[in-house]
Structure 1
Amino acid sequence: MQWLVTGCSSGLGLELARAILASGHKCIATSRNPSKTPEAVAEIERLGGIWAALDVAASDLEFRLGEIVDKHGTIDVLVNNAGYAAGGPLEAMGIEAIQNQMETNFLGPIRAIKALVPSMRENRSGIIVNISSAEYWDPHAGCSLYSASKFALEGLSESLATELSAFGIRVLIVEPGGMRTSFVAPETITKPVLPDAYKGTMTDFVLSAILAMHGEQKLDPRKAAEAVVEEVLRPCGTPPVLRLPLGKESLEGMRGKAGRLVGNADVCEAVALGADF
């Protein structure tokens, strides 16, 4: 199978490219600016992979994907991994920052899916892997916009899984917890400006805690990547699962949210049923 992975310059994306190639499959690793990571590009190409420039937020995304397919052939597995987190209170965020977050984390995957699904549908096979986050289980103060982008991706994926099942196409949502990558590294992240009204609140505490966790995250990106590749090649369930939590944080978050939802349903049962004809 031939995989295409977005956001491979570092972290999970780079580990995915390594794991895919180690499994004996073809991999097209992509990033916005390959010239910024020459060592990573050289490594993946040395391992037999292909590296291509691809910006999921660019106006020419569909054209670039078409070029890649024309040159390298059909994509069997699309991994929408590219993304970033815009932190801070929602009211302090400009509309441009909001649009950029959704453009990369949500609209980029939509556009890539729309570009590649027709060939998957014609072949009646294919897998779409959307990288979400454990934030889906427990959204934190100060992460509302990032959480919104991942909730949107989850909703899209859940509906799309049913929509595309008629054509033999699987959708897999991957939900990693805090991963030991450069995602929140001081040199790569812009610390949000906190309005005075939010100082000393839960938002202030959470944002400080997130920035302080760099290098202490529990999830191993190499093991996470290997788990994703394994799930695609040899699904852990029958039928294959829709959601793959990765790490203790995500697994406990999934179970915790399930319990809270059941409790919510029990409390609201009489009101909910009373609203029917």
Structure 2
Amino acid sequence: MAPLVWLITGSSTGLGLCLARVALAAGHKVIATSRDPSKTPEAVAEIESTGSGKWMQLDVSAEDLEQRIATMVQVFGTVDVLVNNAGYATGGALEDVTLASVRAQMETNLFGPVRTMKALIPHMRERGSGTIVNVTSTEGISAAPGISMYGASKHALEAVSEALQGELAPFGIRTLIVEPGGMRTSFLQPEKVAENLPPISAPYKGTMVQHVLDAVLAQHGTQMLDPERSAKRIVEAVAGGGEGWPENRETYLRLPLGKECVGRIDAKVRMLQDNVKAMEGIWSTVDFEA
């Protein structure tokens, strides 16, 4: 496959930075983005020193996002692959989180990707090719207590992606949902989490909300998912290569990453099947008679 131009949001650390490195190493061109490039000068210098990488400022919740995307298309003359990776997590019981924090969560994790896609779909449609990669989460498959709004944002992005697959396939545009489990990055750094985690109110202390949040925070630095290996598999999913892939990998909508993710998927499937089976005496009685 000829070299592709990748536009990656949230490139300053973790999966986004690994994706930029792996794509460049594979011979592609990369536009890496972050809200404040001045905070990661070494990463910016590393990517731009390759000659095939460009780092640009992009806040997916900013008013000028569409104008910045248009400028980015001009860097290499096209964008072949959009990776919506930027995001963060808001925690806390629904009763405890503020509406302002809910709106901010959705602005970054849902409306940001929607806006980047709307900005680039016309370009890809006119060219008759392109790939949109939306990074969701195991929480987008099965939401846990105490992380409802993060789960909601990822559930919504999954739904948008499912619909897009049917909308865009006729134009030669592929949609791919990447579903990571817990990944060993800075995502759960205590100082980052503290910014978006209100104190647990008295009624929820000792409940599933506290148990889940304590378990999630305790994972920092011990998560099983390797961001470098994950990035390699994502690049392979888009551009080909690698081992262990099924035939026609491009026809699959989802790329689950890690054993934790698959465990959550299996549990969700079993729960849905059990629910449907248990309710058969109800759902089978409400249609009009044939």
Aligned to 2:63: 59
Query: In the alignment, what sits opposite 1:2?
Result: 5
SS in 2 for 1:40: helix
3-state secondary structure, aligned to 1:183 = helix
| Shift in Å, 1:253 | 1.4
The equivalent residue for 1:172 is: 176
The Cα shift of 1:256 comes to 1.9
Pairs within 5 Å for 1:259-270: 259-270=270-281
Over aligned residue pairs, what C-alpha RMSD do you find?
1.1
User: Which runs of no fewer than 5 residues in structure 1 stay unpaired?
Assistant: none
Q: Distance in 1 between matches of 2:89 and 2:124?
A: 30
Match of 1:89 in 2: 93
Cα deviation, residue 71, structure 1: 3.3
Match of 2:140 among 127, 136, 141: 136
Equivalent of residue 227 in structure 1, options 205, 227, 233: 233
Partner of 2:220: 214
Give the conservation status (yes or no) of the 8 Å contact 2:105–2:153: yes
1:145 corresponds to which residue?
A: 149
> Which residue is equivalent to 1:204?
210
Code of the residue aligned with 2:61 in structure 1: it is A
The equivalent of 1:80 in structure 2 is: 84
- Match for residue 256 of structure 2 among 245, 263, 271: 245
Which moved further from structure 2: 68-77 or 176-185? 68-77
The whole-number CA distance in structure 1 between the counterparts of 2:147 and 2:255 is 22
Whole-angstrom CA distance in 1 between matches of 2:247 and 2:116: 27
Conserved? CA contact 2:141–2:155, under 8 Å: no
Q: Which range moved further: 81-90 or 248-257?
A: 248-257
For residues 205 and 26 of structure 2, what CA distance do their matches in structure 1 show?
48
State, as a whole percentage, how many aligned pairs show the same letter: 55
TM-score, normalized by length of structure 2?
0.93
Partner SS, residue 84 of structure 1: coil
Matches within 5 A, 1:105-124: 105-124=109-128
Q: What CA distance in whole angstroms lies between the structure 1 residues aligned with 2:222 and 2:181?
A: 12
Distance 1:187 1:193 in 2: 14
Aligned counterparts of 1:33 and 1:22: Cα–Cα separation in 2: 24
> Matched residue pairs, number?
277
